[in-house]
Every structure is written in C-alpha cells, then in structure tokens.
Amino acid sequence: MIAGRVPWPLRGVFAVRHGYCGDHESYDDPQNANLMSVIERRRGLPVSLGILTLQVARAQGWHMNGVSFPGHFLISMDTGGARVIIDPFN
C-alpha cells in the first residue's frame, strides 16, 4: 500500500470529522447494507462505506474505482504515478 497525498483529506473528512467506520461489532446487521441507515448511523459494510467514499471522492473530482477483493471491498486511486489503495471499512 502506498500512502498518497490526495485521499488523506478524504479520510479526514469522511472518517475523522464525520465518524464513518466499519461496523465490527454487528457486521451481519442488515442495516449495514442499507445506505440510508449507513448514512444515519455512520457505520456499515465495506461495500456500503465504499459506495459513499466513491461518491464523496468523485464530487471532489478525484477518479477512484472500487476493487473487489476476496471477502472485502477496497478503493483504488492512481495519483502521481502511484496507485493508492484505500480500505473504507478500517
């Protein structure tokens, strides 16, 4: 994983400032897959948090892609000749 400069403001706003995170305690709760519930609770599954992260990033003009990883969902972004991988759940 390569640390890039662009996604860190996204993490700061999305995770730190607004408190979005993965729901480790009740992972299988159906609310974790419902986007409206995820927005209200600020907790969810990797794919639901990934969808929200992608939308926030694209609103900022950053091109990111979802990456289906075995048992998980990640986000990739190419910046400055390097690929940055973001885990929206952790």
What does residue 14 show for φ and ψ, rounded to 5 degrees?
-70, -50
Could you tell me the sign of the dihedral formed by the alpha carbons of 28, 74, 35, 21, in that order?
Answer: positive
- What is the per-residue burial (b if ≥16 Cβ within 10 Å, else e) of 26-35? eeeeebbeee
Predicted pLDDT at 90? 85
pTM above 0.85, yes or no: no
DSSP tag of 11: H
Write out pLDDT tens, residues 28-65. Answer: 999 999 999 999 999 999 999 999 999 988 888 888 99
